[in-house]
Chains A and B, each alone.
Chain A
């Protein structure tokens, strides 16, 4: 593990009306890694990430970049993509990029950004006339225009269609491969699993689990998920002896030994034509830890 580029220690954020949004968050983000902050809406992800970006000041605790408090050097080295940003009306994509480029001492050539973020086909268009995916690519390009050492992406794929999401994942992977540290928040577990080297799961303003995705899964789960349609489950057969639960038209069994479980199901004359077996994933981990559905 390389030296941390970003750290928070004992960070608290309180808002008016006695809202305690962040409660003692300690994070350490390694340079060159991709760090994911996961959690349901209202968990405190955006507040935490905005404190790291310097947009908000913590009520208590510290935020350090390269061991120092956030300063002008940080603003030159950080690229930020917010969850929601309106850009200026009547200013084209190309002019918007030029404007942001001039704000930084060091910058990436516009042509390179256009190619990396695939902006060619809408350079002369106004940002408000872009599709969701095009818009996110432009916002990512703006985040990258200052040739940042660290990039913050706050729920970068929220609202995008599956294809646009995959495109953005590829862009984030490209950024990582250039050695840029990526700090992202998301409530898509597949996204976190695909992109992040390290994740922290937040709920109620606190970090409730932290580590690499695989290590976290291994540390929490030693079973697999067996799943079959509820319609295949014999009428009158109780779920309880199988430690199974009915969820969204499916019956789910958490099994530590697949062979034993299959034998038990066959003995109970449960048809297994539609049986699916899968490893535990981050979504299971999240529900296990927070006890609620992910996308609230």
Chain B
């Protein structure tokens, strides 16, 4: 590995990307549009109080809270701990366990406060045991943000490297590089490093901008989050390198990259949780690096997960990066 040659290719690639204003603007604006759009779409005031009910006895929630039927959405609950977590995140406004005669409210939620006042005013819950689960509201945008950032990195990684190398090969740029002393490892390493730098810079801008715009939740370590994104991006870039290792046809590359990105986008918990999906689909989802990236980022941002909590995912991302990098470098052809 000759670092002078590596550096030469890296600088040229960075210049090429930064001056391509269309690609640069798209890389920055696409996730912003997506996230801000989601914020507005899912930030509408809801008209229902959502009440979770636990236990076999039917409780007339409507009469209990003295509310109009149309205003209450009753959700049967099987898992008390999960329901408490949802109450803490304002996904439920109240939780009732008819068997133990207990109910929970979130004092930080405006809806919970309204229900609390109603119960006191009407005396409807006299004899019931009151408990509190505190927690700030989890907006959908908070939940979706880690996934959207990861997904954006996936597109930037796979298309940003795969498509570019295929284009270089098609136009003869790779052949020109082959005719110099630069080695495949130096060239590919520079491409990988350039893409990583670009992604780190863009995502830093994005995160800072979105912090001011949305005041999103970050319970855990920002450094650990950066590590997740870095490893995830490396794993995804290495997949891009493998896809682009031999192809000289942009249409084929486009098809293969889409074939790689779409299943990940749909099944990697970017948009929705896979908790209720069939087991085989959940297992399939766990094969995708995007799943590990999204879930780890989400765990750090929403639950304050630490290094040990997400270590299996970090190791998996490293494994993917290593395997695909070695395969990509071995299969690489200049022409």
A86 engages B19 (CB within 8 Å) = no
The 8 A CB mask of B141-183 against A (1 = contact, 0 = none) is: 0000000000000000000000000000001110110111110
Task: Kindly list chain B residues whose C-beta atoms are within 8 Å of the C-beta of A78.
Answer: 179
Q: With A85-B175, A88-B173 given, is the CB distance from A95 to B15 under 8 Å? A: yes
Q: With A76-B181, A105-B181 given, is the CB distance from A86 to B12 under 8 Å? A: no
Number of A-B contacts (CB under 8 A): 68
A102 engages B7 (CB within 8 Å) = yes
Task: Kindly list chain A residues whose C-beta atoms are within 8 Å of the C-beta of B5.
Answer: 102-103
Task: Kindly list chain A residues whose C-beta atoms are within 8 Å of the C-beta of B12.
Answer: 88, 91, 95-96, 99
B11 beta carbon closer than 8 Å to chain A: yes
The residue that A87 contacts in the complex, of B7, B8, B13, B176, with Cβ under 8 A, is B176
A85 engages B173 (CB within 8 Å) = yes
Closest to A79 in B: B179
The 8 A CB mask of A73-94 against B (1 = contact, 0 = none) is: 0011010101011111111000
B79 beta carbon closer than 8 Å to chain A: no
Main SS class of interface, B: helix
Chain B nearest CB from A210 CB (Å) reads 26
Q: With A80-B179, A82-B179, A104-B180 given, is the CB distance from A99 to B173 under 8 Å? A: no
Task: Kindly list chain A residues whose C-beta atoms are within 8 Å of the C-beta of B16.
Answer: 88-91
With most chain B CB atoms within 10 A of its CB, the pick from A96, A104, A142 is: A104
Closest to B180 in A: A103
Within 8 A of A (CB), among B1-29: 4-5, 7-9, 11-13, 15-16, 19-20
CA of A76 to CA of B9, assembled, Å: 17
Task: Kindly list chain A residues whose C-beta atoms are within 8 Å of the C-beta of B20.
Answer: 89-90
Closest to A143 in B: B179
Closest to A126 in B: B19
Task: Kindly list chain A residues whose C-beta atoms are within 8 Å of the C-beta of B176.
Answer: 82, 85, 87, 142
Task: Kindly list chain A residues whose C-beta atoms are within 8 Å of the C-beta of B182.
Answer: 103
What is the interface residue range for chain B against chain A? Answer: 20 to 34
Main SS class of interface, A: loop
CA of A82 to CA of B182, assembled, Å: 17
Task: Kindly list chain B residues whose C-beta atoms are within 8 Å of the C-beta of A103.
Answer: 5, 8-9, 180-182
A53 beta carbon closer than 8 Å to chain B: yes
A36 beta carbon closer than 8 Å to chain B: no
Chain A nearest CB from B3 CB (Å) reads 10
Chain A nearest CB from B262 CB (Å) reads 28
Residues of A in contact with B (beta carbons under 8 Å apart)? 53-55, 72, 75-76, 78, 80, 82, 84-91, 95-96, 98-105, 142, 146
The 3 closest A-B pairs by CB, nearest first: A86-B171, A102-B8, A90-B19
5 residue pairs of the A-B complex, CB under 8 angstroms, read: A54-B179, A55-B335, A72-B181, A99-B11, A103-B5
